[in-house]
Chains A and B, each alone.
Chain A
Amino acid sequence: MRQNYWTTRVSRRRFVRATGVGSVGAAALAIGVACGDDDDDDEQATSPTSSGSPAATQGTTTATESAVAGPPRGGSISTAASQDPVSLDLHHEQNVWHQLGVVYSKVLKQVKGGVAPDLATNMPETPDDRTIVVKLREGVRFHDIEPVNGRELTAEDVKYSYERIATDQPEYQSRRFITSIESIEATDAHTLTLTLKEPFAPLVNYLGYPTMVIVAREAVELTGDLRQGPLIGTGPFQSTNIQPGVRYDATRFANYFEEGKPYLDEFSVRVIPERGTVVAQFRSGDLSYLPDATPDELDQVRSSVPDVGSERGLRNRLRTAMNTQSGIFADPRIRQAVHLATDRPEMIDLMWGGEGEMYSVLPSFYPGVLTEQDLIGRPGFRENKDEDIAEARALLEAAGYGDGLDVPNYLSLQLSVVPDAVTIHAEQLNRAGFNVTLQPIAYADWTERMLAHDFEIAGGVTSMRLDPDDHLFTEYHSAGPRNDPDLQDPQVDELIAQQRRIFDESERSNIWRELDEMMLDVVPYVPFFVTSLNVIWQPGIQGLTADGGRMNYFGHVLADVYAE
């Protein structure tokens, strides 16, 4: 099986290499198409400091011809969500919800290649490394709903929204993105000046984070918060019907600031908890598009709808964390042995049909980081796994566990595909001289124990972030809120702090790569692989893109979608 895997991988890599230039060209074209009917600013102004992702997505259907001819107006589109948002207030949310996102706009928006202006006219200016100036579009209107009544958006609204997010109330989950801001000033009606406490390069990307939406003060003041609405934004669709647990409907906002958009008249999200039901609904044509489809689901769909459109993106990072400060895994030799014993290709084959991607710290869609190609052949990623296993056994012996090491409580988070990954991993560790006993753990318990570092080894999953800093600081810095392994390494802290101060992306990416390399030795986490998921859509729908998963289905993306 491994032989087959490597054959497949090599041929896929060869394909990517062979079409490397073409892929970049295609990605650029896709950006062009996606922004083709935006004002031209978008394309010119894509962030030079933003993180790239287009290379990670491989389209099988594009919409170029139709887009050039001018997309037709009208029609409706529907998709499904597995549950309701916890709150209708996106400032409280940690997740991304299509039904809320289509209503709002942000200063910047996530596009293939990073971030681009949304409410801003251009990418923010940085007169010095502690000042960011944002010029806003003029004539942007809120939805014509009481109490906002379609008034024009001003810099005061952006200031109000950011100050609201920055509150120290714990439910404001996007707060971490703007803690670097010292003050916000609405210089004039359409100019905003952000003064930073210290240079902070990731902020530009964070302004495009899907929850950093701009709300109207009147809407908030109506009931004191937005937990139960109203949903009033400046996005391409206007909320018309909310039935929690059932559906969320929105109609085209005629005064959307991008003229002519959105092309569709209606958008709806149905709440269907069971994934099998969702796939069946798509196959029967009752849903227009399906985000986050696994390779298996894509195959199932293709068996009944062969000409379905699809695009693949990278999604979640599966990995296991080890406590670096207490217990047996505080010994770096043991952690290294775990790393060596981990057979990623086998996992990818067994769990994901060969469609995942190996990584170190950051997935390959961030520029400059170690790619799968860079990793292959290194310890832990050797094609001949026996060499890795022999080395792992030697390390165990050196650490005094030549007769085998009992791991009685390998925590297995009962979420998504983590139990599958951890079960395979436990078997792989056993082959290298460990004796692993798994302990299933529910999400609520897992979160608590991770925060308290009350574990030795724990398999989990983490989602993609918009800027590498959100991974690095959160998970690897000694002061990071989710530094589960309790890594206390001044050198790592310094590198993370450095990359925050550097605005030049290529310079930043050198540090990301350095951290990538360093973590292969320190091994606070053992990375498994990045799952790839697909967005799939019915024939006749154009303009959808993947770009790392559902994060991109936020308003501005659906504004570009049309039905033939």
Chain B
Amino acid sequence: MTTYVYQRVLLMIPTVLIASVLVFLLVRVLPGDLAAAALGESASQEQVEAYRERLGLNDSLPVQFFDWISGVLVFDFGESSVTGLSIGATLQNTLPVTIELAVFSMVAGLVIGVPLGMLGAIYRGTFVDVLSQGVAILGLSVPLFVVGLLAILLPVIWWEWSPPVTYHPIWEDPIANLGQFVLPSTILSLRLAGVNARMTRSAMLEVMGSDYIRTAHAKGLSPVRVWSRHALRNALVPIVTISGIQLVTLLGGVVIIEQIFGLPGLGRFLLDSVGPRDYVAVQSIVLVMAVAAALINIAVDMSYLVLDPRLRVSR
């Protein structure tokens, strides 16, 4: 098993390296000039040229890449080409916000989705099943920005109340922090909950037809115990897999949700950096996201071993 873990971690290195090269090239393929955008509508061509030189944008691409990646290897992400602020420091401030949002959303997705799927499986073919499936499909199909904006606007129209949007770090004011994260996390979790509900339902249905479930019932175990201890546990492997994949896609959703709910996270940092073509910032953020995605995938792979003893044996 240890060898397997090492293999997965080692495989992560070329993955991240390829991702870093790709993102480095992609941001430079984007039309537009960082220096011109940064200096604004009143800058002359000469000023723009001088600024390009200062930022090192006239260096060859390999030189620019080497400068950046050699810093990244020692956790020095450099400075934003637009604001001049340390990207490492900004990542340090924004990453916890996004992690908190992602974790809460993940939890909410499981808390909402798994019971919904279980209900659908247990009451298969009934109104409860239809309702749970309907809710799941709604969660999957309604775009995040629509739900997010409605969640901001409707309370104002109905109750003249608007959700709090001024960020408080959890270590400074946990109550205010949780109060601010409830709504965005729930909204961000809707898609995840929908996927979880559908996956749970189908996995549960498959498991519930098994002999050992019939045996458990025959032993006289309570239905709740059968569903939770026997059926759900065995249905968890595909749910964990899909949750891991969803967590990676969820990183895309944070861009929208952080924007709407005023959360100063990684998504907003990315959006703010893409507009003015802040190459170094965009590269660094995407690299961090790529590393996060790779780590999540490793964690998902590891979790199989915990959840399914057969896999432990085969490794």
Contacts and interface: CB of A to CB of B under 8 A. Distances in A.
The interface size bin for chain B is 35 or more
A447 B32 contact: yes
Contacts of A227: 83-85
A452 B36 CA distance: 11
B40 A284 contact: no
B149 interface: yes
A304 interface: yes
A375 interface: no
A284 B39 contact: no
A276 interface: yes
Contact of A272 (B149, B262, B271): B262
A452 to B, nearest CB: 7
Given A227-B85, A273-B262, A444 B156 contact: no
A522 interface: no
Nearest to A87: B83
B272 A271 contact: no
A445 B39 contact: no
A376 interface: no
A481 B262 contact: no
B264 A87 contact: no
Interface stretch (B18-26, B47-55, B235-243, B291-299): B47-55
Nearest to B34: A444
A94 B41 contact: yes
B123 interface: no
A276 B153 contact: yes
B268 A176 contact: no
A227 B82 CA distance: 11
Contact of A276 (B38, B152, B157, B269): B152
Given A280-B153, A285-B160, A444-B32, A170 B48 contact: yes
A78 B36 CA distance: 33
B262 A448 contact: no
Q: Which of B51, B152, B262 has the most chain A CB atoms closer than 10 A to its own CB?
A: B262
Given A171-B51, A274-B259, A474-B42, A443 B32 contact: yes
B179 interface: no
Contacts of A452: 45
A481 B43 contact: yes
Interface residues of A, number: 46
B33 to A, nearest CB: 4
Nearest to A227: B84
Interface string A448-488: 10011000000000110000000000100000011000000
A442 B32 contact: yes
B154 to A, nearest CB: 9
A21 B166 CA distance: 45
Contact of A482 (B42, B94, B277): B42
Interface stretch (A8-16, A42-50, A67-75, A241-249): A241-249
Contact of B37 (A228, A283, A443, A474): A443
Interface string A134-176: 0000000000000000000000000000000000001101001
A441 interface: yes
Contacts of B259: 273-274
Contacts of A508: none
A170 B38 CA distance: 10
Nearest to A460: B41
Given A244-B264, A281-B162, A86 B38 contact: yes
15 contacts: A86-B82, A94-B42, A170-B35, A170-B48, A173-B40, A243-B264, A273-B262, A274-B152, A274-B261, A281-B162, A304-B160, A444-B30, A445-B31, A447-B36, A463-B41
